[in-house]
Amino acid sequence: MKAVQFSEHGDRDVIDYGDFPDPEPGRGEVLVDVKAGALNHLDIWTRKGLPGIDLEMPHVPGSDGAGVVTAVGEGVTRFAEGDHVAVTAGVSCGACEFCRHGEESQCVRFSIIGEHQRGVHSELAAVPADNLVPVPDHVDWEVAGSASLVFQTAWRMLLSQGELAPGEKILVLGASGGVGHAAVQIADFVGAEVYATASTEEKLRYAEDCGAEHVINYEEDDFAAEIRELTGRRGVDMVVDHIGAATWTDSLKSLAKGGRVVTCGATTGGRPETDINRIFWNQLKVIGSTMATPGEVDDVLELVWDGTFEPRVREVLPMSEAARAHEMIENREGFGKVVVRPDSEL
């Protein structure tokens, strides 16, 4: 088979699309004929080399993907040949205290397909059955292959962890990215008043189309100052910040007293300066979130499959152009998800 792969960490020139051994499904695994997959920022970090993660090389990236079941391994009963499936990338041990209480995303040995282990940006992928969800036959492959990671992440951040309520004010930073545009849609669905930032007027119009009522161009305006003005100096109840060091101080400034900031990542760095005085004086809450539980995944993807939520796709490229796909993510080009499909599918 052909697969996107790299044999060393580095810039985009380490990426290759070439021959790779065909996988075979082991016990509890399913062999998937991959039709489409999407990129996420973690694909960039994995390619560059994450401290503490020792990958087997060559490594196949990709945490999002969807396709058709072609074979099932021993012990698999949930899926059969011909089923349409999508990958949900979080792998938990199933035995620790968090797994036993239904919080698998907090598992002490939690890992991610495509980040800690072989991914699915390939013609074929052997995936644990527990990491697959059924996809209705009417759902397009680009949608099925790009929804799981960002929508489950945003769903858990806003609802399970952040407990966003109707009528609350929420600021979503980086609304043009995968998690950002999913968070805007989920917040609008809940009935919150949505504020969103992006870097161009085109991206802001897309954010409005996803449900944002107020938009701020962070390249031109101080978003914290704009939030104070738009809310009568009150601030918002929640900030969704997956940007990190570049925005953290202004995220705290944007919060009303008793507000909370929720984070699932730090694309500009994970060690920001922080204003502890502001946190305790204004009684702010800082909430971390990673991925989602199986039940949360099922809940949000049902709303994707029925069209309530829509993963916006900015570009569909052949897997042989994976380096260009990485470039689009790194340079923040366009709005929404970048999808890759095996060259044989185009």
**What percent of the chain has pLDDT above 70?**
100
pLDDT at 105: 87
Which CATH entry fits the domain spanning 151-288: 2.60.120.10, 3.40.50.1820, 3.40.50.720, 3.65.10.10?
Answer: 3.40.50.720
Per residue in 306-346, pLDDT tens? Answer: 999 999 999 999 999 999 999 999 999 999 999 999 999 88
Residue 238 has pLDDT above 90, yes or no: yes
Contacts of 150 (CB under 8 A, 6+ apart): 40, 178, 179, 181, 182, 311, 337
As a whole-number percent, the residues of the chain with pLDDT over 90 amount to 91
Tell me, yes or no, if the two domains 2-147+311-345 and 151-288 fold the same way. Answer: no
pLDDT digits (tens, 9 = 90+) for 53-89: 889 999 999 999 999 999 999 999 999 999 999 999 9
pLDDT digits (tens, 9 = 90+) for 251-291: 999 999 999 999 999 989 899 989 999 999 999 999 999 99
What pLDDT is recorded for position 53?
A: 85
Q: What is the dihedral of CA 133, 87, 299, 255, to 10 degrees?
A: 170
CATH of 2-147+311-345, one of 1.20.1050.10, 3.90.180.10, 3.30.200.20, 3.40.50.620: 3.90.180.10
- Which range has the worst mean pLDDT, 113-127, 216-230, 266-280, 309-323? 266-280
What is the structure's pLDDT at 52?
A: 80
Helix (H, G, I), strand (E, B) or coil at 11: coil
Predicted pLDDT at 227: 98
Closest CA to 171 of 152, 157, 156, 151: 157
For the chain, the structural domain boundaries read: 2-147+311-345, 151-288
pLDDT, position 338? 97
Average pLDDT of the segment spanning 138-153: 98
Cα Rg, the chain, nearest whole Å: 20
Max CA-CA distance within the chain? 61
pLDDT at 54: 86
What band does 108 get if pLDDT is binned at 50, 70 and 90? confident
Half-sphere exposure (CA, 13 Å, Cβ side) for 340? 29
3-state SS class at 138 = coil
Confidence of residue 51 (pLDDT cuts 50, 70, 90): confident
Q: Which residue has the tokens 């802001």?
A: 204
pLDDT of residue 97: 93
Classify 211 in phi/psi space as left (phi over 0), alpha (psi -120 to 50) or beta. left
Average pLDDT, the chain: 96
